């Protein structure tokens, strides 16, 4: 087998093989698919060959991953005369005269010749739909925020609200950095503020929100595809192609129309986007600074010193406007728990909490981390123990009456001990 240092970004419909084993529940299997070589895949696409009616999904594989050695190898199904073709393929390959090549263009930007070899399509900047004017941007966050408001963050929400207002009026900074330890309500409060703007008739059509969670991306470069998809509605481009088209769009000298909405990008878990070259972060933080670009960015991170860890050109842009979320204290956690109890146990619920139990739960979490999610989990676990205790003591099988199951400080202590 021929080892390769690293595999390039996977193409659409491409997977890689491995002998890694994992336990997967049988219910996770939803159907069958067909996986073949790259040549077989494009041959079926080109000749419109169908495998079977029960196998609608087609994929191809070029590489094999060995977990023990942490190396990638060319797939054993790849023939020797195809190795040079694979190594020669690249994003910079262009076909200047399409009439001289027999094959088919696909929506993902690739060109498949009759022998199955793939060549990259030259990006058509002029006719790409991202440059169409007057189109409404698709809001990735259709309904932001929760049904329950998040108390104890009024100052932080006011700062976020002022930032959004400044972005809509083209005043102030275009980037906002939000930092704080996990569970302090950073993302939740940002969504709550944005819900206010999306619910307002004055700002509803003037703001389009694109939320990108870096932990959900297979690689930081996929953020280009998410932003491109927000403009176009779908993204069948590779990350490098999407980046080139976005760069071209944000380099236009033409002033945007008044009816074009401001695009607000939420980069959540921005810590996961840090790479060696940091190009993705640089692009997303540099584009809003350009003239005639209606783009703003809110970066959310769990680390306080992220601007200091970045390159100077990035740190200066990210650290100019900052909102710090401090851990919740005992009183704040108590207030939040009381606000969320109806959601944890909707009425008529048999569960009711003693005031001492709420104080103990808030105090235990405040002394450790101030993470509101941990406090809510502790309340949920304590209520389960209380329900089990009440069921063991009950003489009948009838459901408990509303308010008959009381969560005590002892239940909170047991739940905290079980959680470790």
Calpha distance 211→284 (Å, rounded) = 13
Per-residue pLDDT of the chain (420 residues; tens, 9 = 90+): 455 555 656 676 788 888 777 777 766 677 778 888 777 776 665 444 444 444 567 788 888 777 777 677 777 665 544 444 443 333 333 333 333 333 333 434 444 443 444 444 455 555 666 666 544 454 444 344 444 678 999 999 999 999 999 999 887 788 999 999 999 999 999 999 998 998 888 888 888 899 999 998 888 999 998 898 888 877 667 888 889 999 998 998 888 777 788 999 999 999 888 877 788 988 998 999 898 899 999 999 998 888 777 767 676 667 578 899 999 999 999 999 999 888 888 878 889 999 999 999 999 999 999 999 999 999 999 999 998 888 888 766 667 777 788 999 999 999 999 987
DSSP designation for 256 = P
Calpha distance 153→36 (Å, rounded) = 53
Is residue 246 within 8 A of residue 224, CB to CB? The reply is yes
**Beta-carbon contacts of residue 323 (< 8 Å; ≥ 6 apart):** 156, 159, 160, 176, 177, 178, 179
Closest CA to 71 of 63, 60, 79: 63
């Amino acid at each position: 087998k021929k080892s390769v240092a690293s595999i390039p970004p996977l193409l659409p419909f491409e997977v890689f093989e491995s002998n890694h084993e994992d336990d997967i529940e049988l219910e996770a299997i939803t159907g069958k698919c067909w996986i073949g070589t790259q040549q077989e895949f494009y041959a079926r696409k080109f000749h419109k060959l169908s495998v079977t009616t029960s196998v609608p999904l087609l994929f191809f594989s070029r590489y094999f991953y060995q977990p023990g050695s942490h190396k990638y190898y060319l797939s054993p199904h790849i023939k020797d005369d195809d190795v040079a073709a694979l190594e020669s393929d690249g994003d910079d390959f262009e076909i200047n005269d399409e009439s001289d090549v027999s094959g088919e263009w696909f929506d993902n930007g690739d060109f498949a010749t009759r022998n199955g070899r793939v060549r990259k399509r030259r990006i058509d900047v002029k006719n790409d739909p991202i440059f169409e004017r007057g189109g409404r941007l698709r809001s990735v966050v259709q309904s932001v925020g929760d049904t329950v408001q998040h108390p104890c963050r009024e100052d932080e929400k006011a700062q976020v609200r002022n930032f959004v207002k400044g972005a809509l009026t083209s005043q102030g900074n275009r980037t906002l950095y939000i930092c704080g330890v996990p569970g302090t309500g950073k993302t939740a409060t940002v969504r709550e503020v944005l819900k206010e703007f999306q619910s307002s008739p004055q700002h509803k059509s003037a703001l389009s929100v694109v939320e990108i969670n870096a932990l959900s991306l297979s690689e930081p470069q996929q953020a280009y595809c998410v932003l491109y998809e927000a403009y176009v509605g779908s993204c069948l481009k590779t990350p490098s192609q999407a980046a080139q088209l976005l760069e071209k769009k944000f380099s236009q000298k033409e002033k945007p129309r008044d009816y074009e909405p401001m695009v607000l990008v939420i980069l959540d878990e921005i810590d996961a986007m840090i790479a060696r070259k940091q190009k993705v972060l640089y692009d997303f933080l540099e584009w809003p600074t350009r003239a005639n670009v209606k783009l703003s960015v809110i970066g959310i991170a769990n680390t306080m010193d992220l601007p200091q860890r970045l390159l100077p050109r990035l740190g200066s842009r990210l650290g100019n406007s900052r909102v710090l979320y401090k851990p919740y204290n005992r009183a704040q956690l108590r207030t939040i728990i009381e606000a969320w109890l109806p959601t944890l146990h909707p009425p008529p619920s048999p569960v009711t909490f003693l005031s001492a139990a709420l104080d103990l739960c808030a105090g235990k979490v405040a002394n450790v981390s101030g993470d509101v999610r941990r406090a809510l989990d502790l309340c949920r676990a304590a209520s389960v123990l209380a329900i089990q205790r009440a069921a063991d003591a009950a003489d009948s099988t009838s459901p408990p009456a509303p308010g008959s199951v009381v969560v005590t400080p002892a239940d909170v202590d047991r739940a905290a001990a079980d959680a470790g």
